[in-house]
Amino acid sequence: MKAHQKGTGMTEEEYDAELDELYGEIQIGCSSFRASEVLRTMDPVAYKCGKADFENGRGPVWVCAVCGDEFAYENNAELCCSDKKTEAVPD
């Protein structure tokens, strides 16, 4: 089975989710804000640069041609829905 490589790009929603998971909510007085919202609003250039840096550091994502599961290694994606699963590299 042939696996294919998915681009390393991500949507703003995916990047926001990563930021929010890493930094949580920011409390200011009685108000709380998502970390992604604060960064995007207060410093849009840093937000865009951070997103680009994050994308560049992700590395390739390989997708199983049968089920669509994603893997860090091409071999794992190719073996995903085959009978040779025991040969897979730990993901």
% the chain with pLDDT above 70: 86
Burial of 19 (0-12, 13-18, 19+ CB in 10 A): buried
Token pair of 30, please? 């009685």
Q: What is the residue range of 54's domain?
A: 4-87
Query: Is the model more confident about 81 or about 27?
Result: 27
Q: Exposure string (b/e) for 34-65, b if CB count within 10 Å is 16 or more?
A: bbbebbbeeeeeebeebbeeeeeeeeeebbbe
pLDDT tens, residue by residue, 6-23? 766 788 998 999 999 999
pLDDT at 42: 96
Q: What pTM did the predictor assign? A: 0.59
Q: What pLDDT, on the 0 to 100 scale, is given for residue 86?
A: 53
Helix or strand holding residue 19 (H, E): helix 12-23
What is the total count of domains within the chain?
A: 1
| Block residue for tokens 């937000």 | 47
pLDDT tens column, 29-59: 999 999 999 999 999 999 999 998 888 777 7
